[in-house]
A and B are shown apart, each in its own frame.
Chain A
Amino acid sequence: MSATSTRPPDTAAARRSATSPAGRAMRRARALKGIGYTAPTAAIVVVLFLAPLVLVFWMSLNRWPLLGAPRVNAPDNYTRIPDNPLFLDAVRFTLKYTVIVTVMLLLVALGLALLVQERRRGTGFFRTTYLLPSGVGFAAAALLFYGFYSTEIGPIHGILRSLGLIEETFSFRGTPNSALFSTIALVIWRFAGFQMLILLTGLQSIPLELYEAARVDGASRWQAFRRITLPLLRPTLALLLVLSVSGSLLAFDQFFILTQGQPDNSTLTMVMVIYREAFFRFDLGAAAALSVVVLLVLVALNALQLRVLRRRD
């Protein structure tokens, strides 16, 4: 927006100037308006999120019974964490799961996005189909797959058996690896469409002229992909990475419903251990301490990711 020399001085611009007293008053008025608009957000965040969060920190420093008064026992809840073998194994497993599922999900989503990005007959239909699982709730999807994988009514057990790929005694939840990858299949089914959509927006923002220029220069499709597509997709990939990593580190529903941490506690995630401490052992202080640890890990990881990805820009 530019002011031409023949127009009278732009009073709005003058009002917003940093030095004049009118400018400061204007800024304060706008600041108050801003606070007004974000007041409902602030109210909800403070009352329903920050307050319970502070309570969680406080609980982690106490022996917190279900009924009756709490007693400070800091730092016991924290020093006992290394003695909790379930938690340490869960940390290892959750990290392993996060890495595998993030990479696989991204690859599948990228493949889908590249497939439907061109305008061909039917891309709209295919795009909708891949997105459809996003309409099913995550817990509902897990329940669906619970029946899907079961030997009693599930179809693929029979199909794979008749193809000779598995034995009669095979169970999708029978070994640590089969349990892990069966769950990853559920997650990919449910979230690939969503990530594909986000990637599509990223792909769409890349100007076509760049590809034209590359073709004129004789670059192959693969080179164009590596030199143009990937770098320009970086912000989108960064967003997906943050969402995926955070979500995976907090994984709960899918393993809770599909595997219950079995077999032999090999698919137990960090949040499942927290859940067990709070709701099964009734040790709220210990659960709070574990939660604080997980929260700090997440904050650190996200900060790290964002810094690394931003620097390369």
Chain B
Amino acid sequence: MAGVQLRRARTGVVLAITCLLLLSACGGGDDSSGQSQGASGDTGATITMWTRSATEAASRRLVERYNATHKNKVELTPIPTDNYQPRIAAAAGAKNLPDVFAADVIFMPQYTSKGLFLDITDRIDALPFKDNLAPSHVELGTFEGRKYGIPHTLDLSVIFYNKVLYEKAGLDPEKPPTTLKEFAEHARTVREKVGGNVYGTFSGLSCGGCIVFTYWPSVWAAGGEVMNEDGSQSTIDSPESVAVFETWNQLWKDGVIPASARDEAGPTWTSFFPKGTIGVMPMPSTTLGQMPDNDKVKVGVAPIPGPDGGESTFVGGDSIGISATSKQPDAAWDFLSWTVSDEAQVEVLAKNKDVLARPDLASNKYSSADERVVLMNEMVGKGRTPFALNFGQTYNDPNGPWIPVLRDAILGDDVAKALQEGAPKLTQSLQQQ
């Protein structure tokens, strides 16, 4: 009696589970590429948008202006930077991504290869200024010949130097360093001549993303490479790279960098310069807008040089695209295409001293008012954004292989050896399926 009941109960459970399984397991590949671009997309729709909290300010400025001037309304939800990846994963898993979402540009290869964005090749090509979008962003949003993303916010790495401290150290405040060797000398001089709680320079030595952002341009400026072209192999042990890391290693050994840099994982790495305690350091261009101008800090900028000259930058920031699961791609595109239009770029972004996604507009009336902004806009065309499918898990992930390698190289005693031993580990991660 009980046995039969038990068996019936068991069958019932198995049946229920199988039904649920089938329901959730089948969710075949939706192929809504939505290539129509004919009708205007401004239909009074509500467009959902996600952005990282790190870049929320710029996104919000664009959204507010768009909402004030269009029938469509964009609903912006900023997600804490640390939780962005999990949220995207969960939403994608339930086929419930927002209409539009921004992403750190170096994650674009990963996202596009997983099919998270809609193919917008034809839409982009229909834009009148299609050749004037920040090239490296477009490149990173391209996968197997199709385009999936456009630039949203631009963030470049540039040398920031404090003219007040330069004067105190006896350096010419109008002559920023033009080579990495000069940079190191300037930093040393500031530390030696000013001293106290003032240091020459700073780095986030437990922050993988900070280091790639600020050190790699020096390697590129010297004509060297840190990876191969498709990001499947690390060449971090190239001679140019070794030279760059050796410079920084020496700065650390000579106490030009504060001890707290060793455990700096990213949250506060840009907070010391505005306090007037750092002489010269590479930092994100987006920090310019918040820099003070007082008797402790007067900011000058310069491109990041290689050991013996040259200049380059890491073109970072966010790209943006339409999610593959969006039900209103036309409305979404109406918003996106507007964000890279002349009006949005000049009246919203340039007015705020942001770097533009449209290099052809670089000499607009707002940007040209500040020569530092002019310089940064010019660098967009001279810089690079490295491409790798597994960029995030290799370099940005705090648990990835990059941080131990960079710490070994900068804090250790044998730079060349550290990088030579690190390269295969990085390669393994870059190639992980």
Do A and B come into direct contact in the complex, CB within 8 Å? yes
Chain A residues near B (Cβ < 8 Å): 24, 28, 31, 46-47, 50-51, 54-55, 58, 65-70, 86, 151-152, 168-169, 171, 173-174, 260-265, 268, 272-273, 275-276, 278-282, 284
Is B92 close to A, CB under 8 A? yes
The 4 nearest A-B residue pairs measured at CB:
A279-B86, A66-B92, A68-B29, A169-B259
Please tell me if the beta carbons of B21 and A280 are within 8 angstroms of each other in the complex: no
Please tell me if the beta carbons of B392 and A280 are within 8 angstroms of each other in the complex: yes
Is B184 close to A, CB under 8 A? no
**List of A residues within 8 angstroms of B324 by Cβ:** 67
Q: Complex formed: what's the CA distance from A151 to B260 in Å?
A: 9
**List of A residues within 8 angstroms of B90 by Cβ:** 279
Within 8 A of A (CB), among B382-433: 390, 392-393, 397-399, 403-404, 407, 432
Please tell me if the beta carbons of A272 and B399 are within 8 angstroms of each other in the complex: yes
A-B contact pairs, 16 of them (CB 8 A): A46-B17, A47-B16, A51-B17, A51-B21, A65-B115, A66-B114, A67-B29, A67-B95, A69-B26, A69-B29, A260-B265, A272-B399, A273-B399, A278-B86, A280-B85, A280-B397
The residue of chain B having its C-beta at the shortest distance from the C-beta of A267 within the complex is: B399
Q: Complex formed: what's the CA distance from A35 to B373 in Å?
A: 73
Q: Complex formed: what's the CA distance from A222 to B28 in Å?
A: 68
The residue of chain B having its C-beta at the shortest distance from the C-beta of A275 within the complex is: B86
The residue of chain A having its C-beta at the shortest distance from the C-beta of B13 within the complex is: A46
Query: Binary interface profile of B, 241-279, with partner A (CB < 8 Å = 1, else 0)?
Result: 000000000000000000110110100100000000000
Question: How many A-B contacts if CB must be within 8 Å?
Answer: 101
Given contacts A67-B324, A151-B260, A265-B404, 14 further A-B contacts (CB under 8 A): A24-B1, A46-B13, A50-B17, A51-B20, A55-B20, A66-B115, A67-B114, A67-B115, A152-B268, A264-B407, A279-B86, A280-B392, A281-B393, A282-B114
**List of A residues within 8 angstroms of B17 by Cβ:** 46, 50-51, 54
Q: Complex formed: what's the CA distance from A68 to B25 in Å?
A: 10
Query: Binary interface profile of B, 21-33, with partner A (CB < 8 Å = 1, else 0)?
Result: 1001111111000
Is B325 close to A, CB under 8 A? yes
Please tell me if the beta carbons of A68 and B28 are within 8 angstroms of each other in the complex: yes
Of B25, B26, B115, B390, the residue contacting A58 (CB under 8 A) is B25
Is B39 close to A, CB under 8 A? no
> Known: A174-B263, A280-B392, A282-B110. Is A261-B399 also a contact (CB below 8 A)?
yes
B373 to chain A, nearest CB (A): 32
> Known: A68-B29, A260-B265. Is A31-B92 also a contact (CB below 8 A)?
no
Please tell me if the beta carbons of B85 and A279 are within 8 angstroms of each other in the complex: yes
The residue of chain B having its C-beta at the shortest distance from the C-beta of A65 within the complex is: B114
Is B68 close to A, CB under 8 A? no
Is B2 close to A, CB under 8 A? yes
Please tell me if the beta carbons of A280 and B393 are within 8 angstroms of each other in the complex: yes
> Known: A51-B17, A67-B115. Is A263-B92 also a contact (CB below 8 A)?
no
Q: Complex formed: what's the CA distance from A86 to B114 in Å?
A: 23
The residue of chain A having its C-beta at the shortest distance from the C-beta of B408 within the complex is: A264
**List of B residues within 8 angstroms of A31 by Cβ:** 2, 5
**List of B residues within 8 angstroms of A46 by Cβ:** 13, 16-17
**List of A residues within 8 angstroms of B206 by Cβ:** 262-263
B400 to chain A, nearest CB (A): 9
Q: Which of A28, A68, A265, A272 has the most chain B CB atoms closer than 10 A to its own CB?
A: A68
Is B89 close to A, CB under 8 A? yes
B329 to chain A, nearest CB (A): 15
Is B128 close to A, CB under 8 A? no
Of B20, B265, B398, the residue contacting A47 (CB under 8 A) is B20
A72 to chain B, nearest CB (A): 11
A218 to chain B, nearest CB (A): 56
Is B320 close to A, CB under 8 A? no
> Known: A169-B259, A272-B399. Is A67-B16 also a contact (CB below 8 A)?
no
Of A67, A168, A171, the residue contacting B263 (CB under 8 A) is A171
**List of B residues within 8 angstroms of A280 by Cβ:** 85-86, 392-393, 397
Of B27, B28, B115, B403, the residue contacting A264 (CB under 8 A) is B403
Is B116 close to A, CB under 8 A? yes
**List of B residues within 8 angstroms of A47 by Cβ:** 16, 20
Is B145 close to A, CB under 8 A? no
B387 to chain A, nearest CB (A): 18
Please tell me if the beta carbons of A276 and B397 are within 8 angstroms of each other in the complex: yes
**List of B residues within 8 angstroms of A58 by Cβ:** 21, 25
The residue of chain A having its C-beta at the shortest distance from the C-beta of B258 within the complex is: A169
Q: Complex formed: what's the CA distance from A275 to B86 in Å?
A: 9
B335 to chain A, nearest CB (A): 22
Please tell me if the beta carbons of B85 and A50 are within 8 angstroms of each other in the complex: no
Q: Complex formed: what's the CA distance from A27 to B27 in Å?
A: 46
Please tell me if the beta carbons of B30 and A67 are within 8 angstroms of each other in the complex: yes
**List of B residues within 8 angstroms of A262 by Cβ:** 206, 265, 398, 403
Is B93 close to A, CB under 8 A? yes
**List of A residues within 8 angstroms of B20 by Cβ:** 47, 51, 55
B74 to chain A, nearest CB (A): 23
Q: Complex formed: what's the CA distance from A268 to B108 in Å?
A: 27
**List of A residues within 8 angstroms of B265 by Cβ:** 260, 262
Q: Complex formed: what's the CA distance from A279 to B324 in Å?
A: 18
B348 to chain A, nearest CB (A): 32
The residue of chain B having its C-beta at the shortest distance from the C-beta of A284 within the complex is: B93
> Known: A28-B1, A282-B110. Is A70-B92 also a contact (CB below 8 A)?
no
**List of B residues within 8 angstroms of A276 by Cβ:** 393, 397, 399
Please tell me if the beta carbons of B21 and A55 are within 8 angstroms of each other in the complex: yes
Within 8 A of A (CB), among B1-50: 1-2, 5, 13, 16-17, 20-21, 24-30
B101 to chain A, nearest CB (A): 13
Please tell me if the beta carbons of A86 and B115 are within 8 angstroms of each other in the complex: no
Q: Complex formed: what's the CA distance from A175 to B386 in Å?
A: 32
**List of B residues within 8 angstroms of A54 by Cβ:** 17, 21
Please tell me if the beta carbons of B259 and A66 are within 8 angstroms of each other in the complex: no
The residue of chain A having its C-beta at the shortest distance from the C-beta of B89 within the complex is: A279
Please tell me if the beta carbons of A67 and B393 are within 8 angstroms of each other in the complex: no
Of A66, A168, A272, A273, the residue contacting B93 (CB under 8 A) is A66
